């Protein structure tokens, strides 16, 4: 993720004009409430507080009209691609909006996510901290390895709860891209330049690093990995919709066929009864 652009963010709530005592009390209530919510959030799956576009914890979260939330930067980038159509959709539920919705930072959700970063990550019971079979180990633990909960795509290392904290507290490290702990970090690195594979070459249909774009892939059709993923998600959504429509059409045809068979059976039964009545009269 990039650095936060605070100048674009307009808080959803403002206490301007209220007396200072009331302002302080409201702020205390807000912080206390968000802290309590974050403690509860620590017991939930962190995916519930992750942006479905970048797959990381939300940064400057915004909630769009359908109720789904995203990083402000992610949903802006997603909608910028739809700018030429004038119709903007939700990446998850596909609900469309016209005109483009105005985005305001969800301050309460932002506080919950921030508290989750600071305290929620430490809510796991100690018994679950050590790495077991199939778990990704922390690269910075000595002795018995703790279970890694995040991997950094800049440091190319995985971190446990304790060793991850500097990434949430140090300004330079806050800019690093964190993802779910993964044991295949080297697969995300260019074998030629030892740089992160963050670009997708559509010409050669492969992931490349930024140095590749000025060498072997100069002049090729390239986009960011995030852009390609978003495009593929769109295509997948459209394909799913088509298949769903076909399934519904087939189900309707099957229902009509069943009704026709039932009607035919009823007609045959009526004909048999009429014949029996004629012969018995």
Which tokens hold the place of 43? 């017991």
Mean residue pLDDT across the chain: 79
Is the distance from CB of 187 to CB of 205 less than 8 angstroms? no
| Cα torsion through 166, 169, 171, 174, rounded to 10 | 70
* Assigned CATH topology for domain 189-281: Double Stranded RNA Binding Domain (3.30.160)
**What single DSSP character describes residue 157?**
E
Give the start-to-end residue ranges of the domains of the chain: 1-123, 124-184, 189-281
Q: What is the pTM of this model?
A: 0.37
Give the C-alpha separation, 90 to 97, whole Å: 8
> Looking at the predicted structure, is the pLDDT value of residue 268 above 80?
yes
Give the C-alpha separation, 280 to 275, whole Å: 9
Same fold? 1-123, 189-281: no
> Looking at the predicted structure, is the pLDDT value of residue 248 above 90?
yes
Q: How many CB atoms lie within 10 A of CB 74?
A: 24
State how far Cα 95 lies from the chain centre.
16
What confidence category does residue 273 fall into, taking pLDDT thresholds of 50, 70 and 90?
A: confident
Name the CATH code of domain 1-123 (choices 3.20.20.70, 3.30.40.10, 3.30.930.10, 2.40.128.20).
3.30.40.10
């Amino acid at each position: 993720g990039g650095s936060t652009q605070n100048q674009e963010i307009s808080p959803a709530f403002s206490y301007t004009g209220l007396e200072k005592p009331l302002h302080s009390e409201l702020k205390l209530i807000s912080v206390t409430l968000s802290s309590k919510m974050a403690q509860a959030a620590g017991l939930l799956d962190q995916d519930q507080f992750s942006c479905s576009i970048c797959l990381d914890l939300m940064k400057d979260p915004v909630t769009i009209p359908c109720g789904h939330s995203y990083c402000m930067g992610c949903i802006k980038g997603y909608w910028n691609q739809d700018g030429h159509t004038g119709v903007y959709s939700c990446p998850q539920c596909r609900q469309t909006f016209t005109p483009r919705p105005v985005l305001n930072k969800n301050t309460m959700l932002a506080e919950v996510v921030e508290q989750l970063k600071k305290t929620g990550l430490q809510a796991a019971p100690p018994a679950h901290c050590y790495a077991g079979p199939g778990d990704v180990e922390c690269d910075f633990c000595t002795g018995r390895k703790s279970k890694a909960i995040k991997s950094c795509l800049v440091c190319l290392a995985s971190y446990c709860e304790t060793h991850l904290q500097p990434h949430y507290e140090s300004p330079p490290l806050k800019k690093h891209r964190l993802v779910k702990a993964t044991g295949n970090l080297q697969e995300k690195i260019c074998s030629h330049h030892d740089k992160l594979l963050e670009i997708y070459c559509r010409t050669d249909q492969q992931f490349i690093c930024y140095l590749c774009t000025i060498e072997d892939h100069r002049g090729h059709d390239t986009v960011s990995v995030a852009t390609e993923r978003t495009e593929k998600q769109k295509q997948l959504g459209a394909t799913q919709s088509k298949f769903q429509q076909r399934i519904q059409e087939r189900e309707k045809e099957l229902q009509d066929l069943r009704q026709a068979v039932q009607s035919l059976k009823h007609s045959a039964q009526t004909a048999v009864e009429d014949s029996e009545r004629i012969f018995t009269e």
